[in-house]
C-alpha cells in the first residue's frame, strides 16, 4: 500500500480509492531461442531428438563398434547378449548388434523416401482433383480402386513382377500410400476453395495458378506434413512386414524385417533375436509419430504461442 500511495492522486471528497494490487502475478518472460522452442514443443523435442539420434546411428554405423553385419560364424550361433555380442548372435552366428544398426539405414531410407515421394505425388494429384472439377471424379475413382487393394498385397505383387530391391520396396509402398495422401489433400482443397479469402483473391484478380500456389497450397502444407510423418512411420512398418514375409528387401541386406523373419522360428527359445530389431522399429515409429504430433500443433499459426 505504502509503495504506491506516494504518487497516486489524493482521493476526491467522499470517494475512496481502491488499494493498489499487490505484486502477486509474476511477469511472464517469453523464452526465445532453442530452449524456448523446446519448452513450447516438448513432443517435437523428444520425437526429433530420438529421430536425430537414429539418423546418427544409421550414418555412423561402421564406427559404433560394429563388425561386418553379414560375416558368418557358424561356431558361435544363437549366443545370448554378452559383453562381446551386445545383442547376441543369430542362427548363422552373425552379430545382431551390427545387423540392427545397419538395418536402421534401410528403415530410415524407406521411411523418408516413401514419405517424400508419396507427399509429392499425393499433393499434385490432390490439388488437381480438388481444384479442377471435371477431373475430380475420374481421379478419385482411380484412387478408390487403388485403395481397394490391400497395400501389402499390392506391394507383394509389385515385388513379384519386379526384382526385390530397396528401390522397388520404396516404389511399392509409395504407390500404396499415394491414394491416401491425395484424398487428404483433395479434402483440404475442397474446403479451402470455398473460403471467402479465395473468392476475395479471385475478385482481386489473382489467376488460377497463383490462387493454388499462394492461397491453397500453403494451407494444405500443415496437414500434409503431419500426414507425411505418419506415412514415414507406417512405411517403416510395411517395409518390415514385407521383409518379414520375404517380399521385401533381399535377404542379404540386413533390415529389421529380415532379422525378425530369420529369428521367427527360434523366438520361443532365443527371443533376443526378434526383440532388438522389434524394439528399434517401435522406438523409431514412435519418434516419427511424436514429431508428427508436435508439428501439427506448431504449424497452425493460430496456435502459435508467445506472440
Partner 1 sequence: MTRPLLEVNDLKKHYRIAGGLFGGKPSYVYAVDGVSFEVARGETLSLVGESGCGKSTVGRAVLRLFDITSGQVVLDGQRMDDASKDALHAFRRRVQVVFQDPFSSLNPRMKVRDILAEPIRNFGLAASAADLEERVGRLMDLVGLPREAVRRFPHQFSGGQRQRICIARALAAEPELIVCDEAVSALDVSVKAQIVNLLQDIQRELGLALLFISHDLAIVEHMTHRVAVMYLGKLVEVAPKRALFARPRHPYTKALLSAVPLPDPGAARNRIILTGDVPSPVNPPKGCRFHTRCPYAFDRCRSEEPELRVAPGEHWSACHLHDLPDAQNPLLAPLAS
Q: Which residues bind partner 1 (CB under 8 A)?
A: 137, 195-197, 199-207, 214-215, 218-219, 301-302, 307
**CB of residue 222 vs partner 1: minimum separation in angstroms?**
9
- Smallest distance from the beta carbon of 194 to partner 1, in angstroms? 9
Report CA 15 to chain centroid distance, whole Å. 64
Decide whether 128 or 201 has the Cβ nearer to partner 1.
Answer: 201
Determine the longest span between alpha carbons in the chain, in angstroms. 102
- Those residues with Cβ within 8 angstroms of residue 235's Cβ, 6 or more apart along the chain or in another chain: 110, 111, 114, 115, 118, 173, 177
Instruction: Specify the residue, 113 or 295, whose C-beta has the smaller distance to partner 1.
Output: 295
What minimum distance in Å lies between the beta carbon of 307 and partner 1?
7
Residue nearer to partner 1 on the CB measure, 116 or 202 = 202
Name the minimum Å distance from CB 118 to partner 1. 24
Give, in order, the Cα–Cα distances in Å from 112 to each of 70, 140, 296: 25, 26, 18
Cβ atoms of 45 and 38 closer than 8 Å: yes
Closest approach, Cβ 136 to partner 1, in A, equals: 12
Instruction: Report the residue number, 186 or 215, with the smaller CB distance to partner 1.
Output: 215
The three-state (H, E, C) secondary structure of 15-33, written as one string: CCCCCCCCCCCCCCCCCCH
| Minimum gap (Å) between residue 203 Cβ and partner 1 | 5
CB atoms within 10 A of CB 198: 17
Residue 277 neighbours by CB under 8 Å, 6+ apart: 96, 99, 100, 103, 240, 256, 257, 259, 260, 263
Closer residue to partner 1 in complex, CB, 7/207:
207
Task: Select 154 or 297, whichever has its Cβ closest to partner 1.
Answer: 297
Amino acid at each position: 500500500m505504502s509503495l504506491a500511495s506516494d504518487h497516486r492522486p489524493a482521493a476526491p471528497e467522499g470517494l475512496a480509492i481502491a488499494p493498489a494490487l499487490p505484486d502477486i502475478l509474476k511477469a511472464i518472460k517469453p523464452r526465445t531461442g532453442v530452449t524456448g522452442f523446446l519448452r513450447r514443443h516438448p513432443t517435437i523435442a523428444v520425437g526429433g531428438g530420438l529421430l536425430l539420434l537414429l539418423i546418427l546411428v544409421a550414418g555412423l554405423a561402421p564406427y559404433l563398434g560394429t563388425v561386418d553385419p553379414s560375416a558368418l560364424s557358424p561356431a558361435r550361433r544363437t549366443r545370448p547378449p554378452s559383453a562381446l555380442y551386445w545383442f547376441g548372435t543369430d542362427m548363422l552366428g552373425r552379430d545382431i548388434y551390427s545387423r540392427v544398426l545397419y538395418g536402421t539405414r534401410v528403415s530410415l531410407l524407406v521411411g523418408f523416401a516413401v514419405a517424400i515421394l508419396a507427399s509429392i505425388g499425393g499433393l499434385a494429384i490432390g490439388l488437381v482433383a480438388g481444384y479442377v472439377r471435371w477431373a475430380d471424379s475420374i481421379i478419385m475413382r482411380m484412387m478408390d480402386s487403388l485403395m481397394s487393394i490391400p497395400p501389402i498385397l499390392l506391394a507383394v505383387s509389385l515385388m513379384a513382377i519386379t526384382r526385390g530391391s530397396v528401390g522397388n520396396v520404396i516404389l511399392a509402398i509409395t504407390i500404396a500410400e499415394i491414394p491416401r495422401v491425395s484424398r487428404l489433400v483433395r479434402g483440404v482443397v475442397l474446403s479451402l476453395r470455398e473460403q471467402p479469402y479465395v473468392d476475395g483473391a479471385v475478385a482481386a484478380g489473382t489467376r488460377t495458378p497463383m490462387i493454388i500456389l499462394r492461397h491453397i497450397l500453403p494451407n494444405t502444407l500443415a496437414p500434409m506434413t503431419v500426414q507425411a510423418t505418419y506415412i514415414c512411420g507406417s512405411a517403416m512398418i510395411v517395409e518390415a512386414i514385407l521383409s518379414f514375409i520375404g517380399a521385401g528387401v533381399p535377404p542379404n541386406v540386413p533390415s529389421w524385417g529380415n532379422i525378425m523373419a530369420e529369428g521367427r522360428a527360434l523366438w520361443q527359445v532365443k527371443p533376443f533375436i526378434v526383440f532388438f530389431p522389434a524394439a528399434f522399429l517401435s522406438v523409431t515409429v514412435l519418434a516419427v509419430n511424436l514429431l508428427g504430433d508436435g508439428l501439427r500443433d506448431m504449424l497452425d499459426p493460430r496456435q502459435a504461442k508467445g506472440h
